[in-house]
Structure 1
Amino acid sequence: MLQNYLIIAWRNIWKHKFFSLINIFGLAMGISFTLVIAVYIWQESTVNSELRNADNQYLIRSKWKKDGIGYDFLTLAGLPRALKQNYPHLIANYYHWDGVSSNVSKGNKVFRENLQVGDSSFINMYGFKLLSGNAATALTDPFSVVITEEKAIKYFGNAECVGQTLTIESFKGDKHDFTVTGVLAKYNKNSVTSIIERSNSAFFLPAEAAKFLGRDLDAWPNTVVAGLVELKQGVKPADLEGPMKTLVKANAPERIADNLTPYLTNLQAFYSKDPAVKKSLFTLSCIAVFILLMAIINFINICISRSSQRMKEMGVRKVLGGLRKQLIGQFLTESILMVSIATLLSPGIYVVAKPFFADLLSTEMTGVLSFPYFFYLGLIAFALLIGLLAGLYPAIILSSLKSVDSLKGKRDRVKDNVIFRKVLIGFQFATAAVALVAAIVISKQIDLFFGKNLGYDKDYVVYAQLPRDWSKRGVQKMQHIRTQLSQLPQVKSVTLSWEIPDGNNSGALQTYKISDNIQQAFSSQLLITDNGYAKTYNIHLKAGEFFKTTYVQSDSALVVINEAQSKALGFKSPQEAIGQKFNAEFNPTFTVCGVVDDFQFGAMTGAVGPMTIMNVNQNNLYRYFSIKLKPGNTQANLTALQTKWAELLPGAPFEYNFMDDALAKMYKTELQLKKAAYLATALAIVIVLLGILGLISLSIQKRTREIGIRKVLGSSINGVIALFLKDFLGVVALAGLISCPLAYWLMSTWLNGYAYKIPLNVLPFGIAMLVLVTVTTLLIVLQTMKAALANPVKSLRTE
């Protein structure tokens, strides 16, 4: 019996190729998009789950009473080892590391790379695999290094490079050969090799190498080390609260001990509960659900609309002895078969679209054969459920008709639920309208991120990291090189600094007026630059000067502040602040030499706050040259700059980026959301149009004779077209009335996450509705034109 159902179902699908293609293709697109999002969410939610003993792996985090001492996701350098030594009954193992970047070379290949300097427990504690090398001894020698397979190929051409050497440069400019003792097999994204995504490591050095690099992995005042511990079975994070407080109080300096509360977060929870990750996954989930709902509604709508055309077939089957349950079985089989075909097509579409989605979501997408079993079970369950939903209504209604009524094709005996179908279409239009409004608003807000109102000029600015020599001599050398680069005819200005305007600054200062009590301090963002920063980034100077042209030791107390800090210090105007003094906790008295306009240093999620800019000659800390190129042939300017760089900094790679690249990293989540919104909008509109195409075609078939009669009675072509437009455009208008308030609420909520945002006016809503109405009208006109132009005699003979 089932075989007969399948044969007849296939014949019916093949007979009505047009409608079958629309139905199957629309549903397959919806399933494919949902599959992509589901795979991405699954990958993101299982980050760190493949680490050995993942349930017992924890990150030591820091809760600070005052800003500027340390970071939330880092801890004191001495704490992880002290926990293992003093509480071995609680701690099974530990790993702490410091992330740095330095020049790595092999022959004439020189690149700036991210290095992770940490304990030898790194490989075995988390279960990382080596393609070659001994995991037990790979990080025991002070001048050994373990690298990823990708880096092995980059420097040596293949992964068989154990025993060969790479040259690594210290922060003092010294160079030393490091022997490759292991090559890591490819691993999934995790929070051990990269606590924050922008510092992904590929070179792993032993803790003993810290001394050569000029770092300290044991000093308790060092607050910028990643600390991880593995708890023994049965031990809970709460059991470590007391011991950690005890160790901090006994070993850390008073200013740290009084402000720090360390706590543990499971590595899996650390990533999955990150607010940015949660927000991104929730948004993508909602988009996927709505796209899938639209595709399902499309499928069900067309199935219901087509069903009434098969009344005579049902009558013939009944007359020949067909039972009602057999008729129901036939309808359900056809529906399930069509859904199954669409479901089977979706993995193929996924494979084809995977590179595009991987680029859109900035991640690697797993292959179809790597899906966990529940993905396949979910697809099977989906095909059965949607097939039943789509086929159940027509199966029950049509199979209940009397044989005589079915044979006579009396459609009036079938309750054609037009209102229900219009509600479904309205839902699709409303969803498409919300998606289109969201895409427009998100796009405009992101344009604001990259626009001209940042308080500085990012155009033609490139930045590049420098070899480190954090000493007075090192800064003087860099200032000399800066002067020579500035003299190039292709260069407008150059500045040496620790920061570029990407939100990653050197910390914060607890600042207060010299007459105030220390308890009234406010937090001020700290930047370290030279006197060329304002010129290079075109930051407007409100009063005073941006440091002196030549630095002398007596100028060590001079700082530049922004207007927000001038107001926070109580000055009525920038001019009043010049020459005035203020204090900062743990720092000497500062004297204001200049006040600049507020400029957007970090993301627009927060308002521009107080800012203190110190001279790089005072701190001797730097990371970047920021270079303002002259307008013109950018590529030729960069080539000239690269030639001069190689002359002045031999052995240091010129790996530059434009400031737009830095902003793109800072707004990575928003840019992903923008791409996803555009894609969702395109899919939503395509699905809506496929649905309209199918329903209009069916409607024309049902009303062919009516069209003929209208034309015989004198109706014009425009009148016939207006007949169909009236049915659908009313639904579009009603959907617009529902979707616009919803879209306004959603976008208002999203924009509230930013201190600086675009005004939410009527324009995005007007554009969205105009686009949907225009496209729908064109499609309906094109579809009905053929029927309206047909000979009415042929139309009258159709029944």
Structure 2
Amino acid sequence: MIKNYFKIAWRNMIRNKAFSAINIVGLALGIAACILILQYVAFELSYDNFHKNGSQIYRVKQDRYNDGKLSTQWAAGAYAVGNSFRDAYPEVEDYVKLLRRGVSIIDFGEKSIKVEKIYIASSSFFSIFSFPLLSGNPKTLLTEPNTVVLSSSLAKRIFGNENPVEKTVFQNKRKPFKVTGVYEDMPKNSHIKADLLVSYATFLNNVKPDNPETAWQWDGCLTYIKLRPGTDPARLEAKFPALVDKLAGEDHKKYKSAAVYLLQPLRDIHLYSHLMMEPEPNGDGKTVYLLLGIAFFIVVIAWVNYINLATARAINRAKEVGVRKAVGSLRSQLIGQFMTESVLLNGLAVVLALILVALALPKFNDISGQELSFKLLGSKLFWLPLGGLFLIGAFFSGLYPAFVLSGFKPVAVLKGKVSASSRGILLRKSLVVFQFAASLFLLVGTLTVFQQIRFMRQQSLGINIDQTLVINPPIIADDSTFMRQMAAFKEELLRQSGVKSITASTVVPGQPSDWNAGGIRLKGADESLGKQYRIIGVDYDFLQTYDLKLIAGRNFSKDFGHDPKAVVFNKMAVQQLGFSDPQQAIGKEINFWGEIFTIVGVTDNFHQQSLKDAYEPLIIRLIPDVRGYFSVKLSPGSSGNAIASVQSEWNKFFPGNPFEYTFLDERFNDQYKADQRFGQVFGIFTGLAILVACLGLFGLASFTTAQRTKEIGIRKVLGSTVYAIVEMLYREFAVLVFISFLIAAPVAWFAASQWLDGYAFRTGIQWWLFAAPFVLVLLIALLTVSFQSIKAALMNPVKSLRSE
């Protein structure tokens, strides 16, 4: 019987090629889109889930407060946290400290390898985290000073096929380190990605006589703790304030800068943490689940299409059902037949969907920024969702048409009296309303995303980043001669016609300033009035090079002998200091960690980072010999020749240092890459949703015109024009789109408002963001039904009114 079901299903599919093709393509598009999104979502949700004790590992997040107001939130907080918590609370089994370090050159023999991702790690690193070791003892790898552990790819680059353990490498041609082990490259779904680990004991040796283990005001240390099984993290977290107050209370009271420590589950960090000093740029949980919602919409729209198309063919198959019932077929057998057709079509759609995914995956990776592959074919994480999609789709999309078709009465069918029920018509129209409401929602969302990105890129930054070449800081430099090298390098560049100006700074626009200084106050003011500021260290030419607008005071100048102790505030920093008028701050002296500096100027607020972030209180501090990024302002049209000249001078003054540069406008706009990728992914799947919905609308148009063929014939006989008939059919579908708009608009407005609330500087929600999608979807819908409507209106009424 089953074999017969499939044989009949195949014959029906071949006999109705157009309907079958539309069904299979619609289902395949929906399933393919769903598979792509599910792979993306599965990867994002898989971050850090490979650690054996992942459910027991938490990162200690630090929130700092000034006068009771939240001022900064840190992924990397005070150095004293880990050891203090372990000593005080038996619930803490172990801890590890991590410090992110800058780029270094690692030398071995004649090889010099640039290494970007370097961390200082305490000795428990491999005991807490489950990064596989290829050689070395996890308990002793990072215990001694001046020892390092290498990733397997870095070890291969430096040593080839030699065993690196016990060999000595040099950092920046000077400092020796002994290699004690090698670990497998950290996976892409880890929020920590290190190429080289340096022992924490090395750091402790280098900072003597200071003792970081008791430092509660010294931020910058990532702390992870492993809790004992059965520990309630919320109860443990509630104990932290008492201990912190006991150990650091005096400092907190002195500076009115209290710190609160909270536990972040390791597996939540990637999607839900966007704090200062994150090890890597993290993902966005809202985006992931929104894409999951889109996947659900698209695949449901595809299933709805099957229902609409199957019921549209019900009239054509009514006599088949009547004959089958007349010769003894049971309803259960008919249901089995139609469910078999659904299984066959869904099965073919899955095969086509896999082909589409294989073709689309490279492009999808380019857009999403991930590296998804068909390696998932060997994983149940791939096959379980795919099998679920197939079974759910085949069952639910086939269930309603099977019951409708099998429910026809043979006597009525064979007499030609079959007609659609009002409940069936209402259901089909409701499904189309759902399809277009979902499409309108997605379209409004897509336009909102692109409008916000456009808004951020077009706003004035308050700082000039055009024609600016940024060179990464030199890695190898002699401290005693660096000032002379830098001065000579700048002097040589300024002689070139293509170079307008050059400056050096600790960070450039588009970078967060991780130099956070607390306790800064007016000279003579009580210590309790100290506030936190973000600091940018610059040379004399920074303000001029970046065209920063001074609203009070002056620029840094070598004409003033005290300028090495000079600072420039931005407008927000002056307000935080207590001055409503920037002019009042000029000449005032501040206490900066025990040193006295003079405020010589105030700039207008400018965007140091993207427009996602609010203005921060910034202090621009003069450091004449600052070792940082070089910003070279080029003359228009001279970039090609100028870059070659700059590189030549760089190699002369900073030999051994790689010449790495970017253009600042591109670098700044890189901050919006995640939003742009999200917008592109959103847009692509919105287009697919509309395309699949239109296939469903085609099915409803086919059904409607088939049902109203005789009505149309009578209208033509009575004198109705083709235009009037087409308008009548259009009106019905236009009403459905309008109802869809009424449902989608408030939901889309709420969702867009929630999404835009995540931006400090945001575009408004304008009326055209809703009107344009409505008009577009209406036009698409009318064009979709035009073929069927015009064909029905042009039909010869003699044929439509003929009775067999």
TM-score band, normalised by the shorter chain?
0.7 to 0.9
Separation in 1, partners of 2:374, 2:560: 58
Equivalent positions of 1:220-619 (< 5 A) are 220-221=214-215, 222-235=218-231, 237=233, 238=235, 254=251, 259-274=258-273, 277-365=284-372, 367=374, 369=376, 373=380, 376-412=383-419, 414-415=421-422, 417-467=424-474, 474-475=482-483, 477-505=485-513, 506-513=515-522, 518-549=527-558, 552=561, 554-571=562-579, 573-579=581-587, 581-584=588-591, 586-617=593-624
Separation in 2, partners of 1:788, 1:166: 86
Distance 1:16 1:152, change over 3 A: farther
Separation in 2, partners of 1:265, 1:321: 66
Helix, strand or coil for the counterpart of 1:308?
helix
1:115 Cα offset (Å): 0.9
Q: In structure 1, give the amino acid aligned to 2:501.
A: S
1:354 Cα offset (Å): 2.9
**Does structure 1 retain, via aligned residues, the 8 Å contact 2:539–2:626?**
no
1:443 Cα offset (Å): 0.8
1:515 Cα offset (Å): 7.4
Confirm whether residue 95 of structure 1 aligns to residue 103 of structure 2: no
1:560 Cα offset (Å): 0.8
Helix, strand or coil for the counterpart of 2:39?
helix
Q: In structure 1, give the amino acid aligned to 2:55.
A: D
Separation in 1, partners of 2:390, 2:574: 65
Residue deviations 1:406-456, cap 9 Å, x none? 123333265573332222212222221221222112112112222241111
The worse-fitting range, judged by mean Cα deviation, of 640-649 and 474-483 is 474-483
Equivalent positions of 1:141-156 (< 5 A) are 144-152=147-155
Distance 1:607 1:377, change over 3 A: closer
Confirm whether residue 205 of structure 1 aligns to residue 198 of structure 2: yes
Helix, strand or coil for the counterpart of 2:602?
strand
Helix, strand or coil for the counterpart of 1:30?
helix
Residue deviations 1:367-396, cap 9 Å, x none? 354575365344434433333333333333
Confirm whether residue 44 of structure 1 aligns to residue 44 of structure 2: yes
Distance 1:696 1:168, change over 3 A: farther
**Does structure 1 retain, via aligned residues, the 8 Å contact 2:83–2:213?**
no
Q: In structure 2, give the amino acid aligned to 1:727.
A: E
The equivalent residue for 2:652 is: 647
Helix, strand or coil for the counterpart of 2:552?
strand
Helix, strand or coil for the counterpart of 1:657?
strand
Q: Which residue of the other structure, out of 660, 680, 703, is the alignment partner of 1:675?
A: 680
Helix, strand or coil for the counterpart of 1:321?
coil
Helix, strand or coil for the counterpart of 2:74?
coil
Distance 1:10 1:652, change over 3 A: same
The equivalent residue for 1:104 is: 105
Distance 1:492 1:781, change over 3 A: farther
Separation in 2, partners of 1:621, 1:163: 37
1:232 Cα offset (Å): 3.9
**Does structure 2 retain, via aligned residues, the 8 Å contact 1:314–1:399?**
yes
1:311 Cα offset (Å): 0.3
The equivalent residue for 2:278 is: none
Normalising by the residue count of structure 2, what TM-score does the alignment of the two structures yield? 0.86
Distance 1:792 1:584, change over 3 A: farther
Separation in 1, partners of 2:102, 2:674: 25
Distance 1:448 1:319, change over 3 A: same
Q: In structure 2, give the amino acid aligned to 1:72.
A: W
Residue deviations 1:686-711, cap 9 Å, x none? 11222223333444455556656666
Distance 1:136 1:688, change over 3 A: same
Separation in 2, partners of 1:411, 1:164: 87
Separation in 2, partners of 1:100, 1:700: 70
The equivalent residue for 1:197 is: none
1:654 Cα offset (Å): 1.7
The worse-fitting range, judged by mean Cα deviation, of 59-68 and 435-444 is 59-68
Distance 1:451 1:534, change over 3 A: farther
Separation in 1, partners of 2:47, 2:312: 45
Helix, strand or coil for the counterpart of 1:627?
strand
Distance 1:433 1:232, change over 3 A: closer
Q: In structure 1, give the amino acid aligned to 2:225.
A: V
Separation in 2, partners of 1:492, 1:178: 46
The worse-fitting range, judged by mean Cα deviation, of 252-261 and 723-732 is 252-261
Q: In structure 1, give the amino acid aligned to 2:289.
A: F
**Does structure 2 retain, via aligned residues, the 8 Å contact 1:133–1:162?**
no
Separation in 2, partners of 1:742, 1:242: 42
Residue deviations 1:163-185, cap 9 Å, x none? 69796545xx8354765842524
Give structure 2 stretches of 5+ with no counterpart. 275-282
Q: In structure 1, give the amino acid aligned to 2:220.
A: V
Identity of aligned residues (%): 29
**Does structure 2 retain, via aligned residues, the 8 Å contact 1:118–1:207?**
yes
The equivalent residue for 1:15 is: 15
Confirm whether residue 688 of structure 1 aligns to residue 693 of structure 2: yes
Separation in 2, partners of 1:521, 1:93: 35
1:153 Cα offset (Å): 5.7
Q: In structure 2, give the amino acid aligned to 1:182.
A: V
**Does structure 2 retain, via aligned residues, the 8 Å contact 1:146–1:184?**
no
Residue deviations 1:545-567, cap 9 Å, x none? 22114674x22332111223334
1:329 Cα offset (Å): 1.8
Number of residues of Structure 1 aligned to a counterpart in Structure 2: 784
Helix, strand or coil for the counterpart of 1:417?
helix
**Does structure 2 retain, via aligned residues, the 8 Å contact 1:111–1:652?**
no
The worse-fitting range, judged by mean Cα deviation, of 298-307 and 236-245 is 236-245
Residue deviations 1:295-329, cap 9 Å, x none? 22222222222223210100110121111221122
1:497 Cα offset (Å): 0.9
Residue deviations 1:140-189, cap 9 Å, x none? 67555433344456566x6766369796545xx83547658425245242
**Does structure 2 retain, via aligned residues, the 8 Å contact 1:543–1:596?**
yes
**Does structure 2 retain, via aligned residues, the 8 Å contact 1:397–1:414?**
no
Give structure 1 stretches of 5+ with no counterpart. 195-199
State the Cα RMSD in Å: 3.8
Helix, strand or coil for the counterpart of 2:599?
strand
**Does structure 2 retain, via aligned residues, the 8 Å contact 1:220–1:252?**
no
Residue deviations 1:564-591, cap 9 Å, x none? 3334445454444432x15356344432
Separation in 2, partners of 1:68, 1:101: 29
Q: In structure 2, give the amino acid aligned to 1:266.
A: P
Distance 1:124 1:514, change over 3 A: closer
The equivalent residue for 1:755 is: 760
**Does structure 1 retain, via aligned residues, the 8 Å contact 2:35–2:386?**
no
Separation in 1, partners of 2:560, 2:157: 42
The equivalent residue for 2:280 is: none
The worse-fitting range, judged by mean Cα deviation, of 130-139 and 271-280 is 130-139
